[in-house]
Amino acid sequence: MSKVIYLTDHRSQAADAQALPHARSLPAAGQPVLDTRARPLRDLRISVTDRCNFRCTYCMPRDAFDSNHVFLPHAQLLSFEEMTRAAAVFVRLGVRKIRLTGGEPLLRKNIETLIGMLAALRTPEGEPLELTLTTNGSLLARKARALKDAGLHRVTVSMDALDPALFARMSDTDFPVADVLRGIDAAAEAGLTPVKVNMVVRRGMNDDQILPMARHFRGTGHILRFIEYMDVGSTNGWNMTEVLPSAEIIARIGAAFPLAPLQTDAMGRVAERWGYADGAGEIGVISSVTQAFCEGCTRARLSPEGRLFLCLFASRGYDLRALIRGDADDDQLAAAIAGIWGGRGDSYSEGRLAATPGVGQDRKIEMSYIGG
Ligand code: SAM
Ligand code: SF4
Ligand code: SF4
């Protein structure tokens, strides 16, 4: 295919034009497409909006995302039909798990309709996909039942502190943490289980919440996961001194509640799992900074306006919307995506600590745009 495609960052629609990598022949039915490191395409994250009602300091710092910030206009967002068409093509290429994210995905109007459309997709073997969503929990108490009825399997709720004042400071919102907890309860009652709770840890800011959070969620059936603060985007002023290594988190919790490691799958592995020795459930740690997991990274990311990013730390994405809204049929779309994935060699986290921050790096995409 000789179609010209544009690679852009999300703030600039005028872009350097670049030809797509060569389209590839498709893998045999049921076989995933592989990248240059033999990593299969297994997971797709779809960011459905770049808007959010929180201003978490590590993700959408208010000085960068203030009233002057220009969010994507609705006409530029992929429609639910376009997202579902793209998702079906990704499934042909090996995707078996789809996560909806944002921005805050529950702000996208009628998100249940999209969930219903994605839930109807089938793998080449006739199986449904694993369908999940990451949310800040603010609208969950209201929406959990409808999400479940539409076909969603599980949710991950982001929550960085139990203490109300610290929660407000981390997320820079006056939304009460008690209502996020109510959202978690509603998700569990609706059967969106197990509910995962993600806590981003910033040393010196909310690390004194590690034990209270562990104590609170032990024995509830919810899986609390601690995320190392990452240098995503270019606005959060990330500094390595604020990263609390997962090993230290495990040591702190283990001293209070003894832990034992649990089995983790190698491919697609992100969280390292630990179980409470007394049977009160499990926790996870996501150590993107101190223990890179690029070798098992099987994720592709579709932005709200249809750009395909292969790495969380990328600067530019491939404009799939041009193909989706152009004259490409599904086979051509699949061949284009196979070509993009087939040329992938991403390994940002493996080299992060050796790189000089800011030197030779383009502006990276923001987390609130691509969704993790
Ligand atoms: N708004 C939803 C939420 O907060 O769950 C979904 C989108 S949010 C960008 C997805 C996840 O990225 C959240 O769990 C959030 O905590 C995490 N995140 C955002 N910025 C981060 C950073 N700098 N380091 C680590 N995790 C980050
Ligand atoms: Fe919004 Fe989620 Fe980013 Fe917080 S982490 S600002 S809730 S998109
Ligand atoms: Fe995947 Fe990029 Fe993260 Fe490595 S740095 S695990 S390639 S998203």
Beta-strand runs (E) in 223-341: 223-228, 259-261, 271-276, 282-286, 299-302, 307-309, 317-319
* Residue 78: per-residue pLDDT: 98
Q: Are strands 271-276 and 282-286 parallel, antiparallel or unpaired?
A: antiparallel
* Helix (H/G/I), strand (E/B), else coil: 23: coil
b or e along 210-230 (b: 16 or more beta carbons within 10 Å of the residue's beta carbon)? bbebbebbbebebbbbbbbbb
Do residues 19 and 336 touch, judged by C-beta distance below 8 A? Answer: no
* Residue 361: per-residue pLDDT: 57
* Residue 22: per-residue pLDDT: 74
Smallest Cα–Cα separation from 121: which of 148, 154, 151? 151
Q: Which atom of ligand 1 is least distant from the CA of 52?
A: 1
**Closest residue by CA, ligand 3 atom 2:** 311
Do residues 366 and 313 touch, judged by C-beta distance below 8 A? Answer: no
Expressed in angstroms and rounded, the spacing between residue 327 Cα and the centre of ligand 3 is 32
Confirm or reject: Cβ of 348 under 6 Å from ligand 3. yes
Rounded to two decimals, what is the model's pTM? 0.93
Distance CA 246, CA 8 (A): 34
Expressed in angstroms and rounded, the spacing between residue 338 Cα and the centre of ligand 2 is 31
* Helix (H/G/I), strand (E/B), else coil: 219: coil
Choosing from 171, 238, 369 the residue with most ligand 2 atoms within 8 A of its CB, the one to mutate for a pocket test is: 171
Has 294 been labeled as part of a binding site? Answer: yes
* Cα 47 versus chain centre, distance: 8
CA angle 106, 108, 109 (to 5 degrees): 105
Has 199 been labeled as part of a binding site? Answer: no
| 185 CB burial (10 A radius; 0-12, 13-18, 19+) | middle
Residue ranges of the chain whose pLDDT lies below 50: 1-19, 356-360
Has 276 been labeled as part of a binding site? Answer: no
Distance CA 195, CA 149 (A): 16
Distance CA 252, CA 259 (A): 10
- Domain map of the chain by residue range? 41-369
Q: Which CATH class is domain 41-369?
A: alpha beta
* Residue 27: per-residue pLDDT: 79
